[in-house]
Amino acid sequence: MNKQEILGIFQDALKKPLSAHLEQWISEGGKAVGHYCTLIPDEIFTAAGMAPYRIRGGGSEATDVADVYLSSHLCTFARHTANLALEGQFDFLSGIVGANGCDQARRAYDVWKNKTKVPFRMIISVPRRPDENSIGWYKEELQSLIAALEMHFSIKIAVEDLRKAVQLHNAIRRNLAALNGLRKAANPPIAGAEAVAVAIAAQVMPPESYNKLLEELLNALRDSQGMNKYRVRLIVSGGEMDEPEFVKAIEDQGGLVVYEDTCFGGRYYEELVSEDGDPLTRIAERYFYRMPCARTDDSFPRRYENLKKQMKEFGAKGIVVQRINHCILNAGHSFLFSQKAKEDGTPILIIDREYLAHGYGQVKTRVQAFIESIESRS
């Protein structure tokens, strides 16, 4: 297959909750377990012989059913995903695992727990301060998740199963990092919106079949013509962002997105799990100590330092910080971004938006002005 054919498969996987590859996996006897947060390790579900599935709102058109149970002050990501669950569009899942990532996703999990027919339901607690005093707590939560999966599904998750799962997901991470590395080129062979779709597809497709397609894509990109029709290279940061359409709205104005500082982007695939020693301990260490998000205590300095590093490596001239309305955690980081950027002169655009806001008219207008302001500095 060529580049466009493979990209088409990844893009199709995002259009509705159940993709063709996952549907085939389930029809052949496989199970899939959903989860809301990248602090819940994919390796545990893979070791259990199941496909890990990141909950997102692709295919949702309204939140009217979820609004019966959830406050209008919850973000539209939480409400769209809960709406799909209430409509039965996630009934193909064999389980749902929540975490205390934020109170809004926590409320959405309550809807799953009390109002859906998904058989296995569990929530784990993740400490907010990644230090040596808390890693034991986090590992105990992962052990509880393993024990619950074993009991409910009458299976045994052995150490060797975890080790093989680590190897598979590390292979995916290496390939995604290799794909992202291609975006450092002056004329990258893949657009930002396309790369975003590839990274998100990793989180909703069975991992083995996904990785084979990803390797095909990397081979196809070697002969792909590079992109040269853009005005400014940009980084997208902020909270929940699983919409290639949002990135395309930026790129339609002449901004080439070369890196995503989001949990569906860089934080998902960067930093490998060590393959030495006890696999569960190494899994806990990777997820707990990795580049933090806004829900982690004192996370902004490390995150901003990483962004400045990525700007230099990817040749970016500005940062677009996007936040879904009512996201309290990322509101704090958005304010800190604006203050820090003023201090060091980094061009930055803060956008408050709704999830799945088709059209992105205001986004395009503001991005256009932002790109012009960067160009005027030159």
Give percent of the chain above pLDDT 70.
Answer: 100
Q: Is residue 90 part of a domain?
A: yes
Q: At residue 57, does pLDDT exceed 80?
A: yes
- Helices (DSSP H) in 222-378: which residue ranges? 244-251, 266-269, 279-289, 300-314, 328-344, 361-377
- 129 within domain boundaries: yes
Model-level pTM?
A: 0.96
In a domain, 300, yes or no: no
Break the chain down into helix, strand, coil percent, rounded to 5.
50, 10, 35
Flag whether pLDDT at 207 surpasses 80. yes
* Other beta carbons within 10 Å of 226: 12
The pLDDT of residue 224 is 84
Task: List the domain range (segments joined by +) for residue 43.
Answer: 18-157
Q: What is the phi/psi pair of residue 6, to 5°?
A: -70, -45
pLDDT value, residue 222:
86
Q: Examine residue 51 and state whether it is found in any structural domain, yes or no.
A: yes
Find the CATH number of the domain harbouring 25: 3.40.50.11890
Asked if the structure places residue 130 within a domain, the reply is: yes
What does the pLDDT average to over 183-187? 96
Domain count, the chain: 1
Is 131 exposed, middle or buried, given 0-12, 13-18 or 19+ CB atoms closer than 10 A?
exposed
Per-residue pLDDT tens digits for 291-338: 999 999 999 999 999 999 999 999 999 999 999 999 988 999 999 999
Does 353 fall in a domain? no
Question: What pLDDT does residue 35 have?
Answer: 97
Q: Are 49 and 31 in contact (CB under 8 A)?
A: yes
Mean pLDDT of 215-244: 93
